[in-house]
Amino acid sequence: MNILLIGNPNVGKSVIFNRLTGVDVISSNYPGTSVDYTRGFLSISGKRHQLIDVPGTYTLEPTCKAEEIAVELLKEGDVVINVIDATNLERSLNLTLQLIKQKIPFVAALNLFDEAEHTGIFIDVEKLECILNVTCIPTCALTGVGISKLVNSLEEVKVSDFDFDNEDRWNTIGNILQEIQHIKHKHHTFLEALRDYSIKPVTGIPILLIIMVLMFLSIRFVSEGIIEHISNPLFNSLWTPVLGKLSALLQNNELLSKLLFGEFNTVLNYETSFGLLTTGLYIPIGIVLPYVFSFYTILALMEDSGYLPRVAVMMDTTMHKAGIHGLSIIPMLLGLGCNVPGALATRILETRKEKFITATLLSIAIPCMALQAMLFGLLGSYGYKGLLIVFTTLVIVWFIVGNILKHTVKGTSPEIFMEIPPYRLPYFKGITKKVFMRIKWFIKEAIPFMLFGVLLANVLYAFNILHGIEKVASPLFVHCLGLPKEAVGVLILGLLRKDLAVGMLIPLQLELNQLIVASVVLAIYFPCVATFSVLIKELGIKDMLKSVLIMLITAILVGTILNQVLNLI
């Protein structure tokens, strides 16, 4: 039997899905988290059934892609669990009535039932059952209340015989609500007051700025704390002795020991030695992982509290300058952690134009945490000047390229039109699960590419392959960008991992101005391989090639101009 979970966006379908199957699905407090659907299995009295988590939809007459998928999936289902938002019965019942019109057998789960009572909404469930003539079960997916009852109810699912005039649907719903819903007026709660203040421009924009600064400071504080107090001591006290013993064993094999440990004579430097077991493991685990961890923890708090859609609304006017609307802030923010989930999130955007612009701007001007972590290390030692120039340049580039694309890319960008969910207190398990899954993903993506990159760098140097490429590209590098020709190799490795490439800048002993130009060019010129492959899937090859061309031209132009400007100062 195929069981479908159907309901409005952001009513807790994914949490119910997790409860029923134990399969991990990321849920967030904003609409459209599951544009993709997920399948899992659950057993009812010994029999295995397939459960499908359908993307949230407000209607069975699709108005966007997620809704089209939902309607398409409906054909596969034998029975439906209609997840109803108890805090928002009117809108939820609209979908329920459409299910009834199509004669689809279902049971209704009135989720967020406890939250509804908190806000003063009381629902007579028995009366609702009487009117609709289907099973209705109050649930609270987060705590698990009502879930086992829901599973049991699936043994007997029927088609509702409730009759109504489809043209007069809202009136019908109004009449039902009058009979079953009782609303007690309550005083404004703290969360409701916050809800208003955080979206009015006068108070909302200062709040947004404060949150962004706090986010930035706490990410640096937490990550640097982890690096200094956990990862460095661990590497030094546990890993260094192991490496020492290994290198003694491999003393006679020069090639192998160079590959594994890189250049180290007396003191081991994890950042510059460039061996598979030294730099290849230290950069992703020792430096980047702490940053990725703290970034995603803080982002998860913002997601689950429901703050992100407010950011989208407040950023809407700004984003319009680049021809995209406020919702594009979500891929951009995710991309600050790692560009791969950012690229995947472009799926929530509807038109080709929006996707193309968002993906291109993401690749050009949104440095991932890995790159940022290395930049903080590299440029941070010179004070804030270098970092300030790099990030300001990227912001300016974001606006200029965005504005050019807005006027040149064909197609339309729809306007923002979305529900803003209420604030909810993030729950611990949801946060840890989400952070854990994203870190698992990062480790799976980052470490293989990192090791491969270090290996490739060593092979390229060992066989002098880079010299040929350096010769061809050196006029561009030396004259336009003011960089030594050795930087060509850095950019080639940057295709694999940008953090690795920044690490390779260290032994070149560049001046601050050169480091700034190199960092900016490295950020702009190309997404890393992992992001690139996701974007090919999302945009198609033709659009991706166009996008890459824009990136390369932007990188050369911006690098050249920056080099000239910095030399003047």
Partner 1 sequence: MTKILSEMQRAEKGIIKQIRGGKELLARMDSLSLYIGKEIELVSKQSKRGPVVVKLGNTQVAIGSGIAQKIIVDVK
Residues forming the site for partner 1 (CB under 8 A) = 58-59, 61, 63-64, 67, 87-88, 90-91, 94, 119, 121, 170, 195-196, 199-201, 204, 309, 312-314, 316-317, 320, 325-326, 414-422
Helix, strand or coil for residue 183? strand
Q: Which residue number, 61 or 163, has a Cβ lying nearer to partner 1?
A: 61
Q: Which residue number, 24 or 114, has a Cβ lying nearer to partner 1?
A: 114
State in angstroms the smallest separation of the CB of 173 from partner 1. Answer: 9
Q: Which residue number, 78 or 179, has a Cβ lying nearer to partner 1?
A: 179
* Other residues' Cβ atoms within 10 Å of the Cβ of residue 295: 27
Q: How far is Cα 75 from Cα 78, in angstroms, rounded to an integer?
A: 8
Q: Which residue number, 173 or 562, has a Cβ lying nearer to partner 1?
A: 173
CB within 8 Å of 317: residues ≥ 6 apart: none
Name the helix (H) or strand (E) containing 294. Answer: helix 289-305
Q: Which residue number, 78 or 90, has a Cβ lying nearer to partner 1?
A: 90
State in angstroms the smallest separation of the CB of 352 from partner 1. Answer: 18
Q: Please report the sign of the dihedral spanned by the C-alpha atoms of residue 212, residue 217, residue 220, residue 225.
A: negative
Q: Which residue number, 155 or 415, has a Cβ lying nearer to partner 1?
A: 415
> Residue 555 burial by CB count (10 A; 0-12/13-18/19+): exposed, middle or buried?
buried
Measure CA 25 to chain center. Answer: 14
Q: How far is Cα 490 from Cα 85, in angstroms, rounded to an integer?
A: 53
Q: Which residue number, 414 or 507, has a Cβ lying nearer to partner 1?
A: 414
Q: Please report the sign of the dihedral spanned by the C-alpha atoms of residue 414, residue 416, residue 419, residue 421.
A: positive
State in angstroms the smallest separation of the CB of 94 from partner 1. Answer: 6
Q: Which residue number, 116 or 505, has a Cβ lying nearer to partner 1?
A: 116
State in angstroms the smallest separation of the CB of 78 from partner 1. Answer: 25
Measure CA 456 to chain center. Answer: 29
Name the helix (H) or strand (E) containing 122. Answer: strand 121-123
State in angstroms the smallest separation of the CB of 100 from partner 1. Answer: 17
Q: Which residue number, 24 or 419, has a Cβ lying nearer to partner 1?
A: 419
Q: How far is Cα 444 from Cα 12, in angstroms, rounded to an integer?
A: 28
State in angstroms the smallest separation of the CB of 89 from partner 1. Answer: 9
Q: Which residue number, 8 or 223, has a Cβ lying nearer to partner 1?
A: 8
Q: Which of 403, 341, 400 is nearest to 368 (CA)?
A: 341
Helix-helix angle 240-249:254-261, to 10 degrees: 170
State in angstroms the smallest separation of the CB of 344 from partner 1. Answer: 23
State in angstroms the smallest separation of the CB of 526 from partner 1. Answer: 33
Q: Which residue number, 56 or 453, has a Cβ lying nearer to partner 1?
A: 56
Helix, strand or coil for residue 459? helix
State in angstroms the smallest separation of the CB of 269 from partner 1. Answer: 51
CB within 8 Å of 447: residues ≥ 6 apart: 281, 284, 285
Helix, strand or coil for residue 135? coil
Residues facing residue 39 across a β-bridge:
52
State in angstroms the smallest separation of the CB of 527 from partner 1. Answer: 29
Q: Which amino acid is at 38?
A: T
State in angstroms the smallest separation of the CB of 569 from partner 1. Answer: 34
Helix, strand or coil for residue 228? helix
Are residues 271 and 504 in contact, defined by beta-carbon separation less than 8 angstroms?
A: no
Q: Which amino acid is at 457?
A: A
Token pair 């009535």: residue: 97
Task: Quote the tokens at residue 388.
Answer: 């300030």
